[in-house]
Amino acid sequence: MEVEKTIDAIRSRVRDARRAGRTIGLVPTMGALHTGHYSLIRTAREGCDYLVVSIFVNPTQFGPGEDYANYPRSMDEDLAGCENCGVDAVFAPGVEDMYPEKPLTTVSVSRLTETLCGSRRPGHFDGVCTVVAKLFNIVQPDRAWFGTKDYQQLVVVRRMSEDLNFPVEVLSCPTVREQDGLAVSSRNAYLTSDERRQAPALYAALQDARRIVEQKHPSAEEVIDVLRRRISADAPDGKLDYAQVVDPHTLKDVEETDRPVVIAAALYLGKARLIDNVRVD
């Protein structure tokens, strides 16, 4: 496995692979790799010839006061894990490689980013879209994989790629969970043991919500009420940031649940902000 830290070096590796007739795959990550990332990487391994995993904690997608400085970093373990999964190249640039100057160009997707996490984290998706666009231009993959856990990110990146005609197929992977249902996340490391005991409430509440949608197509208001009740019962220290029932494509709030919906929520628990979602078809 090659580990490349500069844009020129990874471009040159990818160029060689492409000349040899190999298809290129990309899994963008911020490192601190866990079983969720590895499931994406294993799926990607099957879906391309030359697999690049990028590891870059992108400063521009963190807002002021968010956890950029404290975001977990574990490069040595990450590299060993990638090697173990048969990754061909890891692209791990420094901030000075990706942003040698303060960029004057931002990739911004409208509408889809004005709801859910986008409405709570101003500028977050501009940071995500800009860095993903840069990675798509640097690596020029045929396919790139993103997790359904970050559902809004998946929809936004797919739209960005379509709107800007990137020749990249954006593919998704299901959410990997701990045994008690908590979605695996690098940020789970922020939870104290007491908070960790309460954290499964988020997915439990989403499942309650899913169940009543399947049973009786209630109004979105009723769905959110069910979800809130489960969270206050099972995660008394949690503070719900948002809970919404949205259209899976437009991400607009729906009032009724007699059609496919995504139920998405974010929960503050101590220092961690947990997000999760379920889709009901």
Q: What are the residue numbers of the active site? A: 37
> Quick check: 159 binds ligand AMP (CB under 6 A)?
no
In a 13 Å sphere around the CA of 206, the CA atoms on its Cβ side amount to: 27
Among 161, 185, 244, 277, binds ligand AMP (CB under 6 A): 185
Q: Which of residues 32-91 bind ligand AMP (CB under 6 A)?
A: 36-37, 39-40
* Cα–Cα dist 223/203, whole Å: 14
Judged by beta carbon, residue 139 or residue 183, the one nearer ligand AMP is: 183
- Find, among 63, 33, 65, 64, the residue nearest to 127 by Cα: 63
Residue 271 falls in which region: left (phi positive, over 0), alpha (psi -120 to 50) or beta: alpha
Binding letters toward ligand AMP, positions 163-182, x by CB under 6 A = ----------x-xx------
> Quick check: 118 binds ligand AMP (CB under 6 A)?
no
Stretch of 12-20, 93-101, 183-191, 244-252 lying at the interface with ligand AMP (CB under 6 A): 183-191
Element of type H or E holding 177: none
- How many C-beta atoms surround the C-beta of residue 51 within 10 A? 29
Stretch of 78-86, 141-149, 210-218, 219-227 lying at the interface with ligand AMP (CB under 6 A): 141-149
Shortest Å, Cβ 174 to ligand AMP: 7
Among 149, 159, 196, 273, binds ligand AMP (CB under 6 A): 149
Contact 170, 159 (CB under 8 A): no
Q: How far is CA 171 from its chain centroid? A: 12
* Cα–Cα dist 191/274, whole Å: 10
> Quick check: 131 binds ligand AMP (CB under 6 A)?
no
Among 125, 146, 166, 190, binds ligand AMP (CB under 6 A): 146
Concatenating the DSSP letter of every residue in 114-153 gives: SSHHHHHSTTHHHHHHHHHHHHHHHH--SEEEEEGGGHHH
Binding letters toward ligand AMP, positions 17-36, x by CB under 6 A = ------------xx-----x
Shortest Å, Cβ 21 to ligand AMP: 28
> Quick check: 158 binds ligand AMP (CB under 6 A)?
no
> Quick check: 150 binds ligand AMP (CB under 6 A)?
yes
Shortest Å, Cβ 243 to ligand AMP: 19
> Quick check: 186 binds ligand AMP (CB under 6 A)?
yes
Task: Sort strands 24-29 and 50-55 into parallel, antiparallel or unpaired.
Answer: parallel
- How many C-beta atoms surround the C-beta of residue 136 within 10 A? 21
- Find, among 63, 248, 43, the residue nearest to 146 by Cα: 43
Per CB under 6 A, residues contacting ligand AMP are 29-30, 36-37, 39-40, 146-147, 149-150, 173, 175-176, 183-186
